[in-house]
Amino acid sequence: MKITKVYVEKYKWPKEKPIANGKHIYTDNELNLLVIETDEGITGYGCSWDISFAERIGQTIIGEDPLNHEKLWEKMYVPKFLGRKGNSLWTISAIDIALWDIKSKICGVPLYKLLGGARESIPYYIAGGYYGPDKGIPELQKEMEQYLSWGAKAVKMKVGALSIKEDIARVKAVREVIGPDIKLMVDANCAYKFFDAIEFAKRAEEYDLFWFEEPISQDDYDGYRKIAAKTCIPIACGENEATRFGYRDLINTQSISYLNPDAECLGGITELIKIASMADANGLVLSPHGQQQVHVILDCALPNVRIAEFYPPQYDAKIYEAWKNPVKLNSDGTVSPNPVPGTGLDINREVLKNYRIK
Ligand SMILES: [Mg+2]
């Protein structure tokens, strides 16, 4: 089998209402779909954030056998000419995901089984609790109640955009409405400096947080050491870390309890598997970040994943319509991968046809 074509389909559509985390406001949803065509009619799909290097990197693997993912990863990863992280690595990530899509489809085996089949389902948390226009504490509480009505046993909320005092009031209000037995995570999306994060953590400890995610910049490894030394709240981090080398350095801070690798950003599924092994050898567990179509597969494939991230449909209803096989929640607080071969990124183009921009 040979790769004959690599290209991007880009879609963009407005959100019903803008949402915000501790640092960024999102007004649109995007899908950057990386497509690999082969001479045997099997098409692979991957995706990532900006994959504007797709044409350039894609050219280097035309004519190659898509099954040779290790060979192709090494061929694509050329920091000297493309940079070490960021857009070029996002493109490599999307291509690598598409290669695994092809492999799984050729085998006719669901990818979570092909990659190890560690379990059939996994507990999830709902990644919600964003800031939004006209969204106060009562609206936030109502949102959390809705998640509990679905069967959620764990929920996450954003912090970092308001004063620490205001965000602690939000955390308190959420803990009050979800009760003592539901896991609660907070995510600052790198909004704090280390000393702010220590102050937040000290005030938040009484609300029994499951983890404190990305309190500070991904690059401030010393800051993570300082925060971990001052709080009993487990720290989660990794959605902005990349490659096995970056993860080695992050793990070596001995500050992170939960790693949040994102196959779309760190170098694809091939690289995430290596990071999972390294984490396991260091006694750490994963909760992969981002695209749940791909990550619920990895969550159920790999042994040292503890909890899955799940984005609720209200933040992007269109994409749930567009996926041919959207990941769906079980009623018992768990989620299972779709029992079909591939990465789950096949879309119904009819749904998104008015939003294609490339
Ligand atoms: Mg996050």
Ordered domains of the chain (ranges, CATH): 3-109+347-355 (3.30.390.10), 113-335 (3.20.20.120)
Centre of ligand 1 from the C-alpha of residue 236, in Å: 9
Given a cut of 90, is residue 130 above it in pLDDT? Answer: yes
Cβ contact 302:118 at 8 Å: yes
Mean pLDDT, residues 217-226: 97
The per-residue pLDDT for 314 is: 86
Determine if residue 86 is left, alpha or beta; phi over 0 gives left, psi from -120 to 50 gives alpha, anything else beta: left
> Of 149, 125, 128, 127, nearest to 139 (Cα)?
128
Spacing, Cα 39 to ligand 1 middle (Å): 39
At 221, is the pLDDT very low, low, confident or very high (cuts 50, 70, 90)? very high
- Helices 243-252 and 269-281 cross at an angle (nearest 10°) of 20
Per-residue pLDDT band for 309 (boundaries 50, 70, 90) equals very high
Q: Indicate whether 215 pLDDT > 90.
A: yes
Task: Report the Cα–Cα distance between both ends of the chain, in Å, rounded.
Answer: 27
Sign of CA dihedral 260, 216, 134, 18: negative
pTM above 0.95, yes or no: yes
The overall average pLDDT reported for the chain is: 97
Interhelix angle 292-301/269-281, nearest 10 degrees: 40
Confidence of residue 333 (pLDDT cuts 50, 70, 90): very high
Q: How far apart are CA 219 and CA 199, in angstroms?
A: 20
Check if the beta carbon of residue 255 is closer than 8 Å to that of residue 280.
Answer: no
Strand partners, 7: 35
Report the separation in Å between the CA atom of 264 and the middle of ligand 1, taken as the mean of its atom positions. 14
pLDDT at 143 exceeding the cut of 90: yes
Q: Ligand 1 centre and the CA of 196: distance in Å? A: 18
Task: Give the pLDDT score at 20.
Answer: 95
Q: How far is the CA of 22 from the centre of ligand 1 (A)?
A: 10
Asked whether the beta carbons of 8 and 33 are under 8 A apart, the reply is yes
From the CA of 252, how far away is ligand 1's center (Å)? 21
CA distances from 176 to 60, 152, 155, 166, 226 (A): 55, 16, 13, 15, 30
